[in-house]
Amino acid sequence: MTQPTIEEPLGGAPHADTTVPPSLPPQLSPRAISRARRRQAAARAWQEYRRNSIGMVGLAILVLFVAMAVFAPLLVPESELDVTKATGAPFSPPSAEFPLGTDESGRSVLALTIWGSRVSLLVGFLASVISVVIGSVVGIAAGHFGRWTDSLLMRVTDWFLVIPFLPLAIVLATVLGPSLANIAFVIGITSWPGTARIVRAQALAVTSRPYIERARALGAGDWHLITRHILPNVVPLIFANTVLIVAVAILSETTLAFLGLGDPLRVSWGSMLDAAFTQGAASIGAWWYLVPPGVAILLVVLAFTMIGQALESVLNPRLRGR
Partner 1 sequence: MAATSTRTFRPSAGQRRLGAKLIGAALSLAFVLVFNFFLFRVLPGDPAKNLTRNRLVPAEQVEVLRESFGLGKPLPQQFAQYVRDTLSGDLGISYKFRRPVSEVIAERIWPTVLLLGLSTLLSTAIGLWIGIRGAWRRNSVFDRVSLGASLALYAMPEFWLGIMLLIAFGVGVGPLPGLFPTGGLSSPDTELASLAGVADVARHLFLPCLTLTLAYIAEYALVMRSSLLDELTEDYLTTARAKGLRDALVLRRHAVPNALLPTTTLIFLNLGFIVSGAITIETVYSWPGLGLLSYEALRTPDYPLLQGVFLLFSAAVIIANLIADLLYAYLDPRVRTG
Where does this chain bind partner 1 (CB under 8 A)? 155, 158-159, 161-168, 170-172, 174-175, 247, 251, 254-255, 258-261, 270, 273, 277, 282-285, 287, 290-291, 294, 297-298, 301-302, 305-306, 321-322
Q: Least distance from C-beta 275 to partner 1, angstroms? A: 13
DSSP code, position 146: -
Angle between helices 193-207 and 109-145 (to 10 degrees): 40
88 vs 294, which CB is nearer to partner 1?
Answer: 294
With H, G, I as helix, E, B as strand and everything else as coil, classify residue 108: strand
Q: Are 10 and 202 in contact (CB under 8 A)?
A: yes
199 vs 256, which CB is nearer to partner 1?
Answer: 256
230 vs 243, which CB is nearer to partner 1?
Answer: 243
| CB-count burial class (<10 Å; 0-12, 13-18, 19+) for 39 | exposed
Q: Least distance from C-beta 4 to partner 1, angstroms? A: 16
Q: What is the largest CA-CA distance in the chain?
A: 75
184 vs 273, which CB is nearer to partner 1?
Answer: 273
34 vs 287, which CB is nearer to partner 1?
Answer: 287
Q: Least distance from C-beta 287 to partner 1, angstroms? A: 6
DSSP code, position 102: B
Q: Least distance from C-beta 37 to partner 1, angstroms? A: 31
Q: Torsion over CA of 176, 177, 178 and 180, rounded to 10 degrees?
A: -40
With H, G, I as helix, E, B as strand and everything else as coil, classify residue 107: coil
Q: Least distance from C-beta 191 to partner 1, angstroms? A: 12
